[in-house]
Amino acid sequence: MSQLASLSEAPPDAAFALIDAYKADRSPLKVDLSPGFYRDEDARPWILPSAKQELLNDPIADHEHLPILGHAELLDSAQRLVFDTTPEDANTIASIQTIAGTGANHLGALFLAKAIRPRTVWISDPTWINHEEIWKLADPDIERQKYPYFNKEILDLDFEGAMSTLSSMTGEGDVVILHGCAHNPTGRDFTKEQWKAIAGICEQKRLIPFFDLAYQGFATGDLDEDAWSIRYFFRNTSLEMLVAQSFSKNFGLYGERIGGLHVVCRTDDTRTKVVNMLTRLSRAEITTCPINGSKIVAKVLGNKELKAQWQRDLLHMSDRMRTMRQMLVDGLRKRQTPGQWDHILTDVSYLHFKMHSLGIANTAEIGMFSMTSLQPNQIRILREEYHVYLLPSGRISMTGLTEHNVEYVTEAFHKVLL
Ligand code: PMP
C-alpha cells in the first residue's frame, strides 16, 4: 500500500514552465520576455568580465567546507555594500551567507518564525512569484496578507493604498516585505519621500521591515542609489530589520547560488544571540554554503581594479535595459499601438536620481521588468502565433529584447492589441 500515492499534484512553477516551453520552441522568430535573467545584445547569457571563472584559477584551491556562517571576507564586503557600514556598525548586524536571494528570504522567514512568531507577514500586491510560497513553507501558521502596491488598471504605483493598509491593518511585530529597489514584477519603486513615510509607519506600528535586495547596482547602475531605501531605514530609524541580498543578477552568478542574510540587531548583545540562532538554523538545513560563487564575489569586492570593472559591468547592463525600454516604447508609439506605454521608460539616470532627491513623484521604471495591461488571451496569442513568451501576469522582461528583435516584438504587440 503506497504511502505517497495520495499526494496532490501541484501545478508546475509558472516561470520555469515558460522557460521550458521557450526552449522547446523551434521557431527562429522566438523571443523570451519572461526570464528574470540578464541577456546580452544577442539574447544570450552574459558572463561579466569582472566575474569570470578564471579569477579562481588557483592551483592550491581545495574543496573544503566554508565556515557555517560563510566566507568571512565576503560577508564583510557584502555588509558594507548594503549598509555602507563603519567598523562600529558591524557589531550590530548579524550576517550569514545563504543559498542566493531565495535562500536568504527563506532563512529570514524561518528565523523570524522561530524567533518572534509574527502574526502576519505583509507582502506587496503584486510581488515576486516566490514570496508567498517561501513564507508558507517557513511557517504555514503565519498569516500571509497583501498590501496594495500597484494599480494594474492605470499601471501606476498605489502609494496611498500601501500607506493606508500598513497604517490601519498591521499589528506590532508584523513583518513587511519591501523590495529594496527595482520592484519585481512592476519595475516601479517608492520615491525617497514615500520611503520616508513607509519608514515612519514601520516605526509607529513597530513593524519588522524585511528588505528583499535582489538588484543592487543592476537596477540603475549605481550601487548607492539602489541601496538608498535600506540605508535610510538603517540610519534614520531604530528598527530591527532584515535584508535578503542576492548576487545572482548583479554578478550574473545565477547558478552559483550566492547571497547573504543580514539582520540589523542594533546592539552587540542581541547580535550574538541572533548569530547563534542563524548558525543553528543554517547548520540544520544546509551545513555550509557553496564555495565557488563566494570566492568570486569576495575577490571582486576586495580588489579595487576588479570592483571598478564590476561597476562598469553594472552600468553596461543597466544601460542596455534602458535602451531596450526606449526602443520598445518608440516602436509602439510609432505604430500608435493602443494602450499605455510611457511608464515603461526610464528617465536618463541623472534626471531620475535628481527627481528622487527632490522627492518628486517618479513615474519611471528601472531594472528589467515592466507591467503591461496585456490580457491572458493576448499573451496566449503572442506565444502561440508569434513565439513571444511572457508571464501570464503581463510582466515583460527587457533583457529578452535586442536591437534585432525589438521591431518584431512591437509589431506582434501591435497586432494582438488592434
Ligand atoms: N527576490 C526577488 C525580488 C527576485 O526577483 C529574485 C529573483 N528573481 C529573488 C529574490 C531570488 O534570487 P536568487 O536567484 O538569488 O535566488
Mean pLDDT of the chain: 93
Whether 341 is catalytic is no
Q: Is the CB of 98 under 6 A from ligand 1?
A: no
Give the Cα separation of 48 and 231 in Å (integer). Answer: 27
The string of pLDDT tens digits covering residues 117-151 is 999 999 999 999 999 999 999 999 999 999 999 99
Q: Where are the beta strands (DSSP E) in 247-367?
A: 259-264
Q: pLDDT band for position 328 (50/70/90)?
A: very high
Share of residues in the chain with pLDDT > 70 (%) = 96
The per-residue pLDDT for 349 is 43
Instruction: Report d(CA 297, CA 290) in Å as an integer.
Output: 12
Q: Would the CB of 100 count as within 6 Å of ligand 1?
A: yes
Distance CA 412, CA 414 (A): 5
Tell me the average pLDDT across 388-408.
95
Residue range 149-166: average pLDDT? 94
Q: Are strands 156-157 and 259-264 parallel, antiparallel or unpaired?
A: unpaired
Distance from chain centroid for Cα 330 = 27
- In 3D space, the residue among 325, 93, 73, 16 whose CA is nearest the CA of residue 188 turns out to be 325
Element (H, E) at 113: helix 100-115
The residue whose grid cell reads 573544503 is: 64
Largest CA distance in the chain: 68
Percent of the chain with pLDDT over 90: 83
Please give the distance, rounded to the nearest whole angstrom, from the Cα atom of residue 385 to the centre of ligand 1: 30
Residue type, 333: R
Q: What pLDDT shows up at residue 350? A: 38
Tell me the angle at which helices 100-115 and 268-285 cross, rounded to the nearest 10 degrees: 120
- pLDDT, mean of residues 380-394: 95
Asked if residue 364 lies in contact with residue 347, where contact means CB atoms within 8 angstroms, the answer is yes
For range 249-255, the mean pLDDT: 97
According to the model, what pLDDT value does residue 361 have? 44
Using the atom order of ligand 1, give the atom closest to the CA of residue 127: 3
What is the CB neighbour count within 10 angstroms for residue 141? 8
Does pLDDT of 290 surpass 90? Answer: yes
- Between the CA of 169 and the centroid of ligand 1 the distance, in Å, is 27
Say what the pLDDT of residue 400 is: 95
For residues 296-308, give the mean pLDDT: 95
Catalytic residue among 30, 249, 295, 299: 249
SS3 letters across 200-231: HHHHHHCCEEEEEECCCCCCCCCHHHHCHHHH
Annotated catalytic residue 156: no
Total length of the chain: 418
Query: Alpha-carbon distance 193 to 289, whole Å?
Result: 38
* Cα-to-centroid distance, 200 and ligand 1 (Å): 27
Q: Please tell me the residue having the least CA distance from ligand 1 atom 15.
A: 101
Distance 246 CA to ligand 1 centre (A): 7
Write the pLDDT tens digit of every residue in 68-98. Answer: 999 999 999 999 999 999 988 989 999 999 9
Listed in sequence order, the residues at least 6 apart from 92 whose beta carbon sits closer than 8 Å to its beta carbon are: 264, 265, 266, 267, 268, 270, 271
Of the pLDDT bands very low, low, confident and very high (cuts 50, 70, 90), residue 55 is confident
128 lines ligand 1 (CB under 6 A): yes
- What residues does 94 pair with on adjacent strands? 263
CB 201 within 8 A of CB 208: no
Do 400 and 35 meet the contact criterion of CB atoms below 8 Å apart?
A: yes
Cα–Cα–Cα angle for 374, 375, 380, rounded to 5 degrees: 100
* Least confident stretch, 277-281, 334-338, 364-368: 364-368
CA distance 205 to 167: 7
pLDDT band at 323 (very low <50, low <70, confident <90, very high): very high
Q: CB within 8 A of 116, min separation 6: which ones?
A: 173, 208
Question: In 3D, which of 86, 72, 124, 116 has the Cα closest to residue 297?
Answer: 72
How many A from CA of 389 to the centre of ligand 1?
A: 20
Q: What are the phi and psi torsion angles at 379 (to 5°)?
A: -65, -35
Q: What is the value of ipTM here, to two decimals?
A: 0.99
pLDDT tens-digit series, residues 209-222: 999 999 999 999 99
Describe the crossing of helices 131-138 and 100-115 by its angle, rounded to 10 degrees: 40
Reply yes or no on whether the pLDDT at 281 is more than 90.
Answer: yes
The residue to mutate among 184, 254, 397, 399, having the most atoms of ligand 1 within 8 angstroms of its beta carbon, is 184
DSSP 8-state symbol, 89: G
Other beta carbons within 10 Å of 314: 24
CA 62 – CA 65 distance, rounded (Å): 9
Q: How far apart are CA 110 and CA 135, in angstroms?
A: 8
Q: pLDDT by residue (tens digit) across 343-376? A: 888 754 434 444 444 444 455 788 899 999 899 9
